[in-house]
Structure 1
């Protein structure tokens, strides 16, 4: 057996003894290939040789062979030992769950802290906000100090009057337009000539647009 085959056999033997459960050659290849770079042919050859040497056990089920560690190397355990092991496993599982939960909580806290401002950033942000507040306060004081400032009531009154005038403007513009259309039905000349003769000036002449209400 080459040195490479010896290394493969040693790795597989250690793995089977450590796991102490049945595996096929395919299982061992999949589990060890990535970490140890073992080829499938080398795995099959090494496991068959280890079984032939009696270092591992081999069982055949139909066309598939199963390999597992030689149980003679492990000490016998009684029911009390098994119960103690079960209790130990249960305790370890509880500890693992508690640690996992604590780890998740700490990861969440770390994520929150990483998303928060540092002390230096907070200090800078506070200073910026204070400057902004100071500027707003100065502008507010200037507005309040103006003697002829418009009150909200006065502003509402102006807006209401503006709406009334605009509506009246539209109404009168429409009436004038309707009257001119009626006259132009029997007028022999164009609308432009009619407007010039009667001396009517329109909003369009001065590029005036009626405001929207």
Structure 2
């Protein structure tokens, strides 16, 4: 019977177990429901003791061949607290080790760091040489060339402003008979203004 098997197991093991532990340790001879009912029945009959830890019941046999000291059972409270504290300490230690491991794995190796340092040195040398070349260069733009460049820029600038004005006039003319907003019209025409693309016109002044 289940009661005999469960009682014998608790007496032989001489330690407290939960229902799940007993079910597993009996190697599936009985279902968890049967084991739970059996444990409750044995507890009510006074053949075993039942202690409640939080929401979990723990059962222990009453040994008839020795003095059943209540303190032995009560002592499991302090043992459980000690084990929980030990578990919390080990969990915190594990987290610290995981953080250290993550830091170490994200840190470049010595060879990688040396390679990056050499790469930066080479880039720095190239930039220094380029800077020295620019500083020592005697090539300058003549007054005539500068004037020609500025005149060309001014011409293009005038043309740009002229075409922008024409475009704005056309859009304003369409908006007079357009039932929706200017933003909607521009979206339908796939037109982007300077403000939309954050374009700032550079002048000679």
- Normalising by the smaller structure, the TM-score range is 0.3 to 0.5
TM-score with structure 1 length normalisation? 0.44
TM-score with structure 2 length normalisation? 0.45
